[in-house]
Amino acid sequence: MVAYTIRRLLQAFALIFVVATLVALFIHAIPGDPVYVILGENNVTPERVAAVRRDLGLDRPVPVQYAEWIGAVARGDFGKSLISGRPIAGDLALRLPRTLELVLVSTLLSVLVGVPLGVVAATNRNRLPDLAVSTLTLIGVSAPVFVVGTLLVLVIGVQWGILPAAGYVPFRENPIEHIQHLILPCVALATLETAILQRMTRSSMLEVLAEDYVRTARAKGLAGRVVVYGHALRNALIPVLTIIGVQIGSALGGTVLVELIFNWPGLSSYLVTGINQRDYPVVQAVVLLIAALFILLNLLTDLCYAVVDPRIRYG
């Protein structure tokens, strides 16, 4: 197990390095130049452009810039934003927790709502509860996150006014307002996850409920609840766990739209602004961070798998 973990970690580092290289290549390859963003189009003269390029080190060949960046990152130095001059590491440290909060709370929400609904649907197969829930989740799976998000903003935020339409309040400033601002974006993010988890749980449960050992448990006279929750669910959850791990990763991607719609100052909005402004070091740093998180998350999920299911052993 330990050897396996170490091997996976080494693979992870290699993978992260590949991602970093690809991103650096891509962002430099697309047209658009941060120098013009910095100067503002009305102030552009060839001399100023050359001066800014020199100051920012953008006049060096891309491989040289890249090598310097990789070296700096290895030392923990993520450099400074080309546009604002602020140290990137500082902004990453500020914004990462905000995005993680969205991802983790929405995942928690989706587990708390999706899994029980999946059990309900499985144990009431093809009867009203099952059909009702299935219809809801069909909508949940089909509706894009930006549609759900915008609807929530318009109906709950603007028309009914029960929750703030958008924005962010730091927890230490006002915990209640912070939570009020957290609700809608997490609901928007959680909608798809909940639907997927519900369906996954339902089908997994149905499979398990048809197994021989469940029939045996019932034949032994165990109460229905004990059979369902004590035996069936625990086994049904194994594939669900894998899905949750994948979901957290894709939720990370979903935050791009959610942060935009709800004005949540997290990592994804930082990335989008960076791309729009061609802020190369910012884009490279954020993608590197997200890739690292995603890869490590997958590793964690695989390890959890081994913990939860005693039949799985890694060599």
Partner 1 sequence: MALATGAHLFDFSQAPAAIQEEPQPGGELTYGLSADPPNLDPQVDSGAAASTVKMLVYSTLARYWSEGQIEPNLAESWEVSSDGLELTLVLRPGVTFHDGAPFRGEDVKASIERMQDEATGATLQVEMSAIEEIILDDDMTVRLRFAQPNPAMIEYLAQPDAAIMSKAFLDSGTDPNTAMVGTGPFRFVSREPGVSTVLERNETYFREGLPYLDRITFVPYPDENTRVSALLGGDIDMADYVPWKDMQTVEDDPALKLALGQEAAFMCVIYNVTEPPFDNPLVRTALGYAYDRQAIVDAVFFGRGSTMTGGVIPSSSWAYNAELEGTYSYDPERAKTLLAEAGFPDGFSVTLLSTSQYGMHQSSAEIAQQNLQAIGIDCELALFDWSTVVQRQTEGNYQFRIHGLSPELVDPDFLTNFFDSASPFSQSSGFADEDIDRLLVEGRSAQDEAARKAIYLELEQRLLEISPWNFLAWREQGEGLKEEIQGYEHLPGSTGFKSAVTLEATWRQQ
- Residues near partner 1 (CB under 8 A): 30-34, 36-37, 40-46, 48-49, 51-52, 81, 83-86, 91, 94-95, 150, 153-154, 157-158, 161, 164-168, 170, 260-263, 265, 269-270, 273, 276-278
Classify residue 43 by its DSSP letter. G
CB of 76 to partner 1, least distance (A): 21
CB of 212 to partner 1, least distance (A): 55
Nearer to partner 1, 262 or 294 (CB): 262
Rg (Cα) of the chain, in Å, rounded? 24
Tokens standing for residue 216? 């045996």
Question: Distance of alpha carbon 301 from its chain centroid, rounded?
Answer: 14
Residues 6+ apart with CB under 8 A from 137: 117, 194, 195, 198, 199
Residue 306 phi/psi, 5-degree rounding, is -65, -35
- To partner 1, the closest distance from the beta carbon of 193 in angstroms equals 22
Helix (H/G/I), strand (E/B), else coil: 223: coil
Closer residue to partner 1, CB minimum distance, 99 or 247: 99
Nearer to partner 1 among residue 261 and residue 289 (C-beta)? 261
Cβ atoms of residues 156 and 237 within 8 Å: no
Joined tokens for residue 246: 């994948």
Tell me if 11 sits within 8 A of 295, measured CB to CB.
Answer: no
Shortest distance (Å) from residue 51 CB to partner 1? 7
Question: For partner 1, which is the closer residue by CB, 199 or 278?
Answer: 278
Choice between 52 and 205, CB closer to partner 1: 52
Measured in degrees and rounded to the nearest 5, phi and psi for residue 99 equal: -75, -40
What is the enclosing helix (H) or strand (E) of 20?
helix 2-29
* Shortest Å distance, C-beta 269 to partner 1: 7
Nearer to partner 1, 40 or 61 (CB): 40
Token pair for residue 37? 């963003």
CB of 67 to partner 1, least distance (A): 25
Judged by CB, which is closer to partner 1: 33, or 77?
33
Q: Which is nearer to partner 1, 167 or 230 (CB)?
A: 167
Supply the DSSP string of 45-102, one letter for each residue.
-HHHHHHHHHHTTTTS-HHHHHHHHHHHHHTT---B-TTT--BHHHHHHHHHHHHHHH
Please, is 146 exposed, middle or buried when counting C-beta atoms within 10 Å of its C-beta (0-12, 13-18, 19+)?
A: middle
CB of 266 to partner 1, least distance (A): 8
Distance separating alpha carbons of residues 223 and 302, to the nearest angstrom: 33
Q: Shortest distance, CB of residue 32 to partner 1, whole angstroms?
A: 3
